[in-house]
């Protein structure tokens, strides 16, 4: 299990009225913190969620060749998603909760 803090710096909509958010994240890892850039796409009508992680610093082994895909709860306070790596197909669960 890892803990991550996400900060949103920019929010806009695309041509299909999806919400696009950009920002940064910080994973608290056993061997040191890992900083990342993030991009999130939310489809408001279905609360579908996809998040990409990019440009990791702090670890040479941090994988960013996939995305987290899932949903946001109706109260907008939690996200359940699955990370899938493109190359290997490995998966992991992502559970985020608002403070």
Q: In the chain, count H helices and then E strands.
A: 0, 7
Q: How far apart are CA 99 and CA 88, in angstroms?
A: 33
Q: Say what the pTM is.
A: 0.87
| Span 57-82, pLDDT tens digits | 987 778 889 999 999 999 999 999 99
Contact at 8 Å (CB) between 66 and 82?
no
Cα 20 to Cα 36, 76, 78: the distances in Å are 17, 15, 17
Q: How far apart are CA 50 and CA 76, in angstroms?
A: 15
Residue 3 has what pLDDT?
Answer: 85
Residue 96 has what pLDDT?
Answer: 87
| Span 16-56, pLDDT tens digits | 999 999 999 999 877 789 999 999 999 999 999 999 999 99
With 80 as the cut, is the pLDDT of residue 12 above it? yes
Mean predicted confidence (pLDDT) in 78-99: 90
Between vectors from CA 59 to CA 5 and to CA 25, what angle results, nearest 5°? 15
* Backbone φ/ψ region at 66: left (φ over 0), alpha (ψ -120 to 50), beta: beta
Residue 41 has what pLDDT?
Answer: 97
């Amino acid at each position: 299990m890892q803990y991550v803090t996400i900060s949103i710096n920019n929010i806009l909509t695309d041509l299909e009225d999806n919400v696009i958010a950009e920002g940064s994240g910080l994973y608290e890892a056993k061997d040191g913190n890992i900083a990342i850039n993030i991009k999130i796409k939310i489809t408001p009508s279905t609360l579908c969620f996809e998040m990409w992680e990019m440009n990791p610093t702090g670890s040479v082994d941090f994988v960013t060749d996939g995305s987290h895909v899932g949903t946001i709860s109706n109260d907008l306070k939690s996200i359940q998603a699955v990370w899938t790596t493109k190359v290997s197909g490995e998966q992991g669960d992502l559970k985020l909760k608002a403070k």
